[in-house]
Amino acid sequence: MTIALDEQQAAAKAWFESLRDAICAEFEAIEAEAGSDARFERTPWDRVDPSGAPGGGGVRGVMKGRVFEKVGVNVSTVGGSFEGDFAKTIHGAGDDPRFFATGISLVAHMANPHVPAVHMNTRFLATTKRWFGGGADLNPPIPYDEDTADFHARLKAACDAHDPTHYPRFKQWADEYFYIPHRKVHRGVGGIFYDHLEGAFADNFAFTQDVGRAFLDIFPQIVRRRMAMPFTDADIARRNAWRGRYAEFNLVYDRGTLFGLKTGGNIDAILMSLPPVATWD
């Protein structure tokens, strides 16, 4: 359901949609290189605000192929009012529950255990304050130092182009956020995470765009590097056990999951981050 957007909101929404289209095209190209005709299936959804007013919506994109066992690339643009005490947990919404949010969320679970899973999300929110947030992190069942170094180097370059303090601060934030306390392990090999980046809209928007471009540049390189490597049943078992940890984090600790559920988002889109197969032994 369409909601009215101001100039900043419209610009952010348009960027996230264009980034989605570029990522989906690149991932489909990788599938084609592997001899697969897999394509993204896009499903639109509408949100109704608790007040009964139009609450926006989004498009859930999912592809299941030969390289990407399951990848979701979602864009949503929603608005309305937070319900109950949840408003007090959101930056700038404690005294006024009205909000706007638009963003892209991506999670890829790979068929080959040598290819790392990955998460990327960037977003723009408006309450009584306006800010950007997001990040990306690499989640390999079988880590390779080369992949980790290249992923971090590309994100660092994106950060350094805007502020030399961004990368060390946002890397540490990711290390602290993407951690499973009850397991006492990190979810993967890290990346960057940032939130409440407010102030100069143009500068913060440009940085958020560069984070998306950095992801689109480096992750396909890593996929192509690993996707033809041979693997064993033991490798698959290792991948599936690792996926169980990933699922635990997303269901217990992930802020995006909670935000989507608390704001009446599309359940299939919210839970697309869960792997298609996982084990708990």
Ranges of H-type helices in 81-232: 145-160, 166-177, 201-226
The yes-or-no answer on residue 119 being catalytic is yes
Give me the catalytic one of 109, 114, 119, 152.
119
State how far the Cα of 254 lies from the Cα of 258, in Å rounded to an integer.
7
State how far the Cα of 271 lies from the Cα of 18, in Å rounded to an integer.
23
Closest CA to 118 of 222, 257, 20, 260: 222
List the structure tokens of 268. Answer: 């299939």
What's the burial of 27, exposed, middle or buried (CB within 10 Å: 0-12/13-18/19+)?
Answer: buried
Closest CA to 83 of 53, 128, 51, 113: 51
Which residue in this structure is represented by tokens 């993967």?
188
The one-letter code for the residue type at 128 is T
Catalytic residues: 119
